[in-house]
């Protein structure tokens, strides 16, 4: 009986917080309200801003990224001007327009100097979404653009919508673009990275520069994997004085190119990935893998007649222009110098110890000799004569 009462007390104790929960919810409205945000399929829709546009570059309506709709129709032959700003190198601006009306229209993108960068047009009989975009390089710190809607003279544009996006295409794991110059190079270590390039019709980010620190005798191995339908112009290696050392091209579209580079001296080396004059395919993403190996572990990346071993080859690496015999001679000279320096130190220590011992022995002998020469001679007492004793 007592055991049953004990069990009841335990159960009531455990359930008492649950019994008080409704009372607690009265004083805590946050609990009284059902939390449906995690499961709700409806969200606050993005507010679409109504725009009217300016009638010239000078009074272009300034916009931010987002979605917009026209507040009125646009008569035939007229233009509407808009302006967007705050784009960094490696940030692509994209404008998408949708037009309604029995007329043709064009969506045009201009730079800050009002030079046309991209244009897309539609005919009244074939309405479609129009999109223009641009990916800048590192020529400037901040970019601004003009977006212009141009209505043909076939009729009025009854309405239109406009969407502006900013997409980041930063290179090498950095929060910036790998610039198309030495000054804007992104530093790399060993690892795998992603980079982006565009053709000249889609932007000015047509080359990426990276920097890598490599010690003398090490091999920097760079592997570039482009999209399967594209290729780049070249992989180029430079030293810190910006002197071109090696250049590797692409055999065909989609080819994975591995370029080994042997460092003749410890230095900061530059790597350029150049899009060149290839066909414009928009933004192209590529994989970049870098590894730094000792020469003894990088033989597989060289032809047998180029650089089979570190020391015993007499062949010349035609890519890097480094004579392997020179490297072997320098390495042997350095090794010999190390041994000679060690022997000299041992001899110097031996001579010093020998001189110390010899000095100690000579000092001890000299002290002994001097001490013996100063000792007084013993004198005998005169013995009494026999007659004196009597």
Higher pLDDT, 180 or 26: 180
- Flag whether pLDDT at 86 surpasses 60: yes
Dihedral angle over CA of 153, 149, 97, 133, nearest 10: 130
Higher pLDDT, 213 or 296: 213
pLDDT for position 355: 61
The share of the chain scoring above pLDDT 70, in percent, equals 64
Q: In degrees rounded to 5, what are phi and psi of residue 329?
A: -60, -45
Q: How many CA atoms lie within 13 A of 182 on its CB side?
A: 12
- Flag whether pLDDT at 184 surpasses 60: yes
Contact status, residue 282 vs residue 232, Cβ threshold 8 Å = no
Question: Is residue 101 very low, low, confident or very high in pLDDT (cuts 50, 70, 90)?
Answer: confident
Q: Compute the distance between CA of residue 332 and CA of residue 330 in angstroms, rounded to an integer.
A: 5
Contact status, residue 307 vs residue 313, Cβ threshold 8 Å = yes
- Flag whether pLDDT at 112 surpasses 60: yes
Question: Is residue 48 very low, low, confident or very high in pLDDT (cuts 50, 70, 90)?
Answer: confident
Enumerate the H helices of the chain as residue ranges: 2-27, 29-32, 324-373, 386-389
Mean pLDDT of 162-173: 96
What is the chain's Cα-based Rg? 43
Collapsed DSSP state (helix, strand, coil) of residue 184: helix
Taking alpha carbons only, the member of 159, 170, 127, 165 closest to residue 147 is 165
Q: Compute the distance between CA of residue 179 and CA of residue 19 in angstroms, rounded to an integer.
A: 66
- Flag whether pLDDT at 49 surpasses 70: yes
Residue 148 CB-density burial (10 A; 0-12 exposed, 13-18 middle, 19+ buried): buried
Question: Is residue 161 very low, low, confident or very high in pLDDT (cuts 50, 70, 90)?
Answer: very high
Q: Compute the distance between CA of residue 7 and CA of residue 16 in angstroms, rounded to an integer.
A: 14
Collapsed DSSP state (helix, strand, coil) of residue 332: helix
Taking alpha carbons only, the member of 145, 190, 163 closest to residue 290 is 190
pLDDT for position 78: 95
pLDDT for position 360: 61
- Flag whether pLDDT at 363 surpasses 70: no
CB contact set of 102 (below 8 Å; sequence gap of 6+)? 124, 154, 155
Residue-averaged pLDDT of the chain: 78
Do β-strands 186-187 and 207-214 pair in parallel, antiparallel, or remain unpaired? parallel
237-283 pLDDT, tens digit each: 999 999 999 999 999 989 999 999 999 999 999 999 998 766 677 89
309-330 pLDDT, tens digit each: 443 333 334 334 444 445 445 5
DSSP code string of 354-381: HHHHHHHHHHHHHHHHHHHHTSPPP-PP
Mean pLDDT of 33-40: 33
Q: Can you list the positions of beta strands (E) in 241-340?
A: 244-249, 257-262, 267-274, 283-294, 316-317, 322-323
* Cα–Cα distance list, 221 to 257, 258, 294 (Å): 10, 7, 11
Question: Is residue 350 very low, low, confident or very high in pLDDT (cuts 50, 70, 90)?
Answer: low
Lowest-confidence range among 128-137, 213-222, 331-340, 341-350? 331-340
- Flag whether pLDDT at 35 surpasses 50: no
* Cα–Cα distance list, 367 to 82, 137, 356, 378 (Å): 106, 87, 16, 22
Report the DSSP beta bridge partners of residue 211: 187, 270
pLDDT for position 311: 37
Collapsed DSSP state (helix, strand, coil) of residue 168: strand
Q: Compute the distance between CA of residue 217 and CA of residue 221 in angstroms, rounded to an integer.
A: 13
pLDDT for position 372: 56
Q: How many CA atoms lie within 13 A of 63 on its CB side?
A: 30
pLDDT for position 30: 39
pLDDT for position 318: 37
Please say whether the dihedral angle defined by the alpha carbons of residues 304, 309, 312 and 314, taken in this order, is positive or negative.
positive
Taking alpha carbons only, the member of 223, 332, 310 closest to residue 262 is 310
pLDDT for position 366: 55
Report the DSSP beta bridge partners of residue 191: 290
- Per-residue tokens: 148: 């212009």
Taking alpha carbons only, the member of 190, 280, 245 closest to residue 234 is 245
């Amino acid at each position: 009986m007592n055991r049953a009462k004990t069990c009841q007390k335990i159960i009531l104790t455990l359930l008492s917080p649950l019994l008080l929960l409704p009372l607690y919810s009265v004083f805590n409205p946050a609990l009284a309200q059902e939390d449906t945000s995690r499961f709700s399929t409806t969200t606050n829709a993005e507010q679409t801003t109504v725009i009217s546009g300016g009638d010239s570059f000078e009074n272009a309506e300034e916009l931010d990224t987002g979605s917009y709709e026209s507040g009125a129709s646009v008569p035939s032959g007229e233009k509407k001007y808009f302006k967007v700003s705050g784009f960094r190198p490696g940030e692509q601006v994209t404008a998408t327009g949708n037009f309604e009306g029995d007329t043709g229209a064009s969506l045009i993108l201009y730079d800050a100097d009002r030079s046309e960068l991209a244009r897309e047009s539609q005919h009244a009989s074939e309405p479609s979404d129009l999109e223009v975009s641009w990916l800048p390089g590192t020529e400037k710190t901040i970019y601004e653009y003009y977006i212009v809607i141009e209505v043909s003279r076939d009729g009025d544009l009854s309405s239109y919508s406009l969407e502006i996006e900013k997409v980041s295409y930063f290179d090498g794991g950095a929060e910036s673009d790998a610039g198309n110059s030495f000054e804007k190079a992104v530093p790399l270590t060993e690892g795998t990275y992603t980079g982006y390039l565009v053709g000249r019709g889609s932007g000015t980010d047509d080359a990426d520069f990276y920097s890598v620190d490599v010690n003398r005798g090490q091999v920097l191995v760079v592997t570039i994997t482009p999209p399967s339908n594209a290729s780049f112009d070249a992989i180029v290696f430079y030293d810190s004085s910006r002197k071109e050392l090696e250049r590797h091209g692409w055999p065909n579209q989609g080819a994975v190119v591995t370029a080994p580079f042997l460092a003749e001296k410890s230095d900061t080396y530059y790597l350029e990935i150049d899009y060149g004059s290839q066909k414009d395919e928009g933004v192209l993403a590529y994989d970049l893998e870098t590894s730094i190996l000792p020469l003894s572990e990088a033989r597989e990346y060289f032809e047998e007649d180029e650089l089979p071993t570190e020391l015993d080859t007499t062949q010349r690496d035609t890519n890097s222009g480094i004579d392997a015999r020179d490297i072997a001679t320098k390495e042997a000279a350095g090794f010999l110098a190390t041994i000679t320096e060690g022997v000299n130190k041992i001899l110097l220590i031996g001579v010093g110890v020998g001189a110390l011992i010899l000095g100690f022995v000579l000092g001890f002998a000299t002290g002994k000799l001097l001490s013996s020469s100063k000792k007084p001679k013993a004198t005998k007492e005169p013995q009494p004569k026999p007659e004196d004793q009597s």
